[in-house]
Structure 1
């Protein structure tokens, strides 16, 4: 039975749509809007690429803290929860787009859900990224004939460039198109479907082959990816809602709250109650509810 989880704050794109295509925008943090520096946890219905050139504080993505530093690139997927803590003078560029705006299927070009959203660059690498962002920005503002197609082409180049830079960092694994599709499906449908076989059928391979691909790309198993996605949804609800543990267990499809408690402690290393208390205390989230 599918459960409907209570909605968390969702930011939708409120920008011009090029030539009637899917939403796309680029600009400074000030130009894109207040949500770009939001200090409260929220999630997006679009992809967001952040290129930071200055500022201080902490950027928290799915409850993992990242120190704000220049020459940092974040690639955030739809549904990820993030916010800024103790941040000041954040500068750089923000690029937002819907998946449908891409020229090709994003598998292989975007990091698999669950991977690190952060890529730190040296000055030469940052210059490579900034060069493409400059091209995108000029095309976006000029609105010359055919600019939507040009934006799609430049976005494709940017994603390839970021992917190459990610592959240059051994700690950032690359993912195949099939693995990306699998992990993306899990993030979208984990509340309704938790069968490895079912996901394998959706991406057109056997369960055994999917297991081999996920192990090679991510160093884990499809089942572990599914469990991690479910635990992440639980963390989001524990941190950002006043639902009881039993209500959250029910919302996530667990008939037995005690089983949910054991599952969560195994995945998160703490009981649901302890996690809620500790995460709210760490990030002062209770004041935002």
Structure 2
């Protein structure tokens, strides 16, 4: 296996916590478990595939898993953004702040992905053609999971009490998250009190509006650090921070490492502009 990709079967999930890791992760789990990711809590039961992007903060709370398979890879091995059109997986590995970081899958689908994991693991990648095959298997896994996630999102989408209220907030946040970081701004735009607005958003997304605002800003910071050659000072200014040092403190608090360390470890994508 390449130094930039690793596949393993884990027997003790509690001991596995990829915190402060500059890798993408695809984790296959079978059983009951609960965990927190970036301080958001989740519970799962059955066959599940969990997706992590670099430096997400993962903590297992409990588990009773029968099987755990972990695939990790660095952006230098397989550039997600460069291949996003052909595998449609950008929303999987740079987790959308509005969606769950995992999907529940059927036994057949779960076993199909495990077999792909095992095929990849049998290749020593000592030769260039082995590396190409491993990348092809990884691309197939990402494409299959992307399609499965799209299907799951359509089937399990929560219908808002007031469609225009909640969906309009999502559109407003994507448009104004840089210059407008106050919950009151979005509540006022939707003609709601801050309290009523916060309850509706929490019911829909399982997160408070302030949490979603921070996550959306942090996600954009990660994208700019990984997908552009812009300096940290330029990124800080683009994201509405007057001081790059304040931006660095904010980023480290949210991610666990500074923007400088994040960029050094994760790297700048070959798709960077």
TM-score in terms of structure 2 length: 0.50
Q: Deviations over 1:168-189 (max 9, x none)?
A: 111689xxxxxxxxxxxxxxxx
Deviation for aligned residue 1:61: 1.3
Unaligned runs of 5+ in 1: 1-15, 174-192, 197-218, 234-247, 254-289
Determine the structure 2 residue equivalent to 1:17: 2
**CA 1:102–1:41: 2 relative to 1, 3 Å:** closer
Q: Deviations over 1:47-66 (max 9, x none)?
A: 01100134x33122122222
Distance 1:46 1:24 in 2: 9
SS at match of 1:42: coil
Unaligned runs of 5+ in 2: 158-176, 181-204, 220-245, 252-273
Determine the structure 1 residue equivalent to 2:9: 28
Distance 1:41 1:49 in 2: 11
Determine the structure 2 residue equivalent to 1:135: 119
Deviation for aligned residue 1:225: 10
Task: Judge conservation of contact 1:53–1:92 (CA < 8 Å) in 2.
Answer: yes
Determine the structure 2 residue equivalent to 1:43: 20
Task: Judge conservation of contact 2:26–2:50 (CA < 8 Å) in 1.
Answer: yes
Deviation for aligned residue 1:129: 1.9
**CA 1:40–1:101: 2 relative to 1, 3 Å:** closer
SS at match of 1:153: helix
Determine the structure 1 residue equivalent to 2:264: none
Determine the structure 2 residue equivalent to 1:229: 215
**CA 1:143–1:37: 2 relative to 1, 3 Å:** farther
SS at match of 2:62: strand
Does 1 or 2 have the higher relative contact order (CA < 8 Å, sep 6+)? Answer: 2
Distance 2:56 2:46 in 1: 22
**CA 1:27–1:249: 2 relative to 1, 3 Å:** closer
**CA 1:38–1:172: 2 relative to 1, 3 Å:** farther
Determine the structure 2 residue equivalent to 1:79: 55
The count of aligned residue pairs is 170
**CA 1:120–1:68: 2 relative to 1, 3 Å:** same
**CA 1:251–1:172: 2 relative to 1, 3 Å:** farther
TM-score in terms of structure 1 length: 0.48
Q: Deviations over 1:63-92 (max 9, x none)?
A: 222224331000101121111112345632
SS at match of 2:45: coil
Task: Choose from 120, 144, 166 the match for 2:104.
Answer: 120
Determine the structure 1 residue equivalent to 2:242: none
Deviation for aligned residue 1:143: 4.9
Q: Deviations over 1:197-237 (max 9, x none)?
A: xxxxxxxxxxxxxxxxxxxxxx9xxxx9983326779xxxx
Determine the structure 2 residue equivalent to 1:252: 250
